[in-house]
Copies of this chain bind each other. A is one copy, B any other.
Amino acid sequence: MKAVILSIGDEVLNGEVADTNAAWLAERLLELGVEISYHTCVGDVEEHIEQSLRYASRRVNLVVATGGLGPTHDDLTRHAAAKAANAPLELHEESLAAIEERFRRYGRPMPAQNRIQAMIPQDAEVLPNSEGTAPGFIVCIGGAHAAFLPGVPREMKAMFEKSLAPFIAALPIERRAVRVEHLHTFGVPESTANERLGNLMLRGANPLIGLRVSGGGVSIKLLATGPDPASVERVMGPTLEAVRQRFGEAIFGTGADTLELATARLLECHGRTLAIAESCTGGLVGHLLTNVPGISRFLLEDLVTYSNAAKAELLGVPAETIQAVGAVSEEVARAMAEGVRKRAKADIGLSTTGIAGPDGGSAEKPVGLVYIGLATDAGTSVERITLVGGRELIKDRAAKFAFNTLRLHLRKMGDWSKCQT
């Protein structure tokens, strides 16, 4: 079964709002075994809406449209739907009663103009709106089912779950079972990831494998389909295992995991306390880590020592070291990590120092040069990385590298597997 998602409204067309409805609908339809052919977005122009409906209904068997069901003169979806379905608009008494009842609950009379929202194409299946005034409806256009939902996300989602999802699930069409898995990696460039996946990524393979680069890491998506859940399981299992084999410790999480969440989980699992000293990342490492609920049990402090005085006074970085080799150096990264660990009496000290730019770079210390220090009871190590990009990108990548350095250290401590959730 194939579907088209149609978003209707000038505010989406003109970019006043991003089309989050289409993304939400696409994910839900996929979960119902419906394949998405394309999305399109048109403005509040009756001919454009009608044209897109006719075009889509010739290509797929399901059209899900959102928006343009409001009471104002530029809400033209129902008129276009009626034309495309060759069915006149008729007053739907139950819907009118429901709209009037809702206004009663608002404590005011229904404005005359809202009556239009009860006008539904003849023989349409009406979809009640539990969250707002405009009912939705399903009509046939050519050989396709066309469903019309409100544009307000809250109303659209409720109507989809309560009425449209059951309707789609009941359609007597063979649909495929679907399972989606996401594996998130860090430290493997996209091109290398692509090479490692190699034959697994062949077009038409099942599961279908896709790569996405985000936040400096590469996420691997596996989409397995089959006639039934059992057969999906059979194709997903081995490939998932093969991918895990090929990426090993570079995989930090699945699903909605983030690098900072994975790192926090390992801190908790091993019961280690952390203190951070940041320079070039300016607080970003602490910010990301403190997005994790309950991290206060493991994160003691994060000292953003932007000035050299702060590095010396708070972390005990010798002023003569900064004098001799500069604040962006292996020596200072080391002293920062050891200094903050000692000051906070933490198990682990993590530090960043570098040049985020756009100014402050030089021939031997270019913008993007970053040192990451990790101090533990086993000693101190410093990693030197060179990043490319603007100031915010360099800060972000430096913070991610810092988390990954800490994550890999914690992962090597004892049985990390029990830390996986």
Contacts and interface: CB of A to CB of B under 8 A. Distances in A.
B13 A38 contact: yes
A48 B38 contact: yes
A108 interface: yes
B306 A303 contact: no
A191 B351 CA distance: 44
Contacts of A73: 194, 201-203
Interface residues of A, number: 102
A284 B304 CA distance: 11
A265 to B, nearest CB: 16
Nearest to A15: B26
Interface string A390-413: 111101000000000000000000
A301 B310 contact: yes
Contact of A190 (B52, B72, B102): B72
Interface stretch (A39-47, A120-128, A141-149, A160-168): A39-47
Contacts of A356: 290
A344 B343 CA distance: 17
Nearest to A305: B301
A71 B39 CA distance: 25
A98 interface: no
Nearest to A40: B40
A306 B310 contact: no
B19 A194 contact: no
Task: State the oligomeric state as a number of copies.
Answer: 2
Contact of A15 (B23, B37, B284, B313): B23
A16 interface: yes
Given A105-B386, A291-B395, A305-B301, A74 B210 contact: yes
Contact of A388 (B24, B106, B310, B313): B106
Contacts of A305: 301
Interface in A151-210: 152, 154, 189-192, 194-195, 201-203, 210
A415 interface: no
Interface string A304-328: 1111011001100000000000000
A360 to B, nearest CB: 8
A269 interface: no
A362 to B, nearest CB: 15
A300 interface: yes
A365 B291 CA distance: 20
Contacts of A309: 300, 344
Given A190-B71, A309-B300, A391-B291, A15 B11 contact: no
A363 interface: no
B72 A154 contact: no
B302 A283 contact: yes
A236 to B, nearest CB: 17
Given A276-B304, A300-B309, 13 more contacts: A13-B26, A15-B23, A15-B27, A15-B30, A16-B221, A18-B18, A18-B20, A74-B201, A102-B388, A105-B386, A111-B192, A300-B306, A301-B314
22 contacts: A12-B39, A13-B36, A18-B20, A18-B23, A19-B22, A22-B41, A38-B40, A38-B52, A39-B39, A39-B40, A154-B393, A278-B283, A282-B287, A284-B287, A287-B395, A291-B392, A293-B358, A293-B359, A299-B306, A301-B303, A302-B303, A302-B304
